[in-house]
Amino acid sequence: MSKFLLSVHVLAAVLAVGPVAVAASMFPAAVRKGEAKVTAMLHRICRVYAYAAIAVPVFGFGVAGTMHVMGDPWLLTSIGLTAVAAAVLAFLVLPRQKRLLAGESTSDKLSRLAMVTGVFNLLWAAVTVLMIVRPGSSTGA
């Protein structure tokens, strides 16, 4: 069961978080180029895949339960970083994209959006590293 849950967890991360990270990163450049249809599509990708990305922590908790690592510091740190990344996406990235789509485009707003998108991506990179390295893991990986 552990291998199945881990497989679904990793697939969800790749297929749901990956598109959000890429689309969110492309959004500011598309706004600068004035590509209205592209920016609308990128925002939709971010919104829709953000909901799909909920599967990542759901299956992650399942994996952690079967591996008996729920109290490990690396996992607790990953959970915290995932929560922060979700908050950055929900409360900073998506609303700023929406405002830019509504025509509130300024260089300053685009720069701030690019910055918070970078923070979102860095948070997920940190979570990914923790999931691979697992400091203090008993598996020796």
Residue 127 lies in a domain: yes
SS3 138: coil
Q: What is the DSSP letter of 89?
A: I
106: Cβ contacts below 8 Å, ≥ 6 apart:
none
pTM to 2 decimal places: 0.93
Residue 53 lies in a domain: yes
Residue 141 lies in a domain: no
Residue 140 lies in a domain: no
Residue 85 lies in a domain: yes
Residue 23 lies in a domain: yes
- On the question of pLDDT at 140 being above 60, the answer is no
Confidence of residue 1 (pLDDT cuts 50, 70, 90): confident
Residue 46 lies in a domain: yes
Is residue 119 within 8 A of residue 89, CB to CB? The reply is no
Over residues 17-73, the pLDDT tens digits come to 999 999 999 999 999 999 999 999 999 999 999 999 999 999 999 999 999 999 999
Residue 25 lies in a domain: yes
Is residue 23 within 8 A of residue 48, CB to CB? The reply is no
Range of the domain at 125: 2-133
Please state the domain count of the chain. Answer: 1
Is residue 74 within 8 A of residue 134, CB to CB? The reply is yes
Burial string for 21-50 (b: 16+ CB within 10 Å, else e) reads bebbebbbebbeeeeeeebeebbebbeebb
